[in-house]
Amino acid sequence: MVSKDAYRGAMARLTGAVNIISSDGQAGLAGFTASAVCSVTDDPPTLLLCVNLASRQNELLRVNGVLCVNTLALGQEDIARAFSNHDLTMAQRFERAQWSVRESGSPVLKDALAAFDCRIVERLEQGTHAVLFCEVLEAQAGQGAPLLYFNRAFGTLA
Averaged pLDDT, 136-152: 95
- Distances from the Cα of 24 to the Cαs of 2, 38, 104, 152, in angstroms? 38, 21, 8, 29
d(CA 141, CA 150): 23
pLDDT digits (tens, 9 = 90+) for 45-86: 999 999 999 999 999 999 999 999 999 999 999 999 999 999
What pLDDT, on a 0 to 100 scale, did the predictor assign at position 158? 67
Residue pair 47/134 in contact (Cβ under 8 Å)? The answer is yes
Which residues are CB-contacts of 84 (< 8 A; sequence separation ≥ 6)?
32, 33
Looking at the chain, the whole-number percentage of residues with pLDDT higher than 70 is 99
Domains of the chain, earliest start first: 16-149 (2.30.110.10)
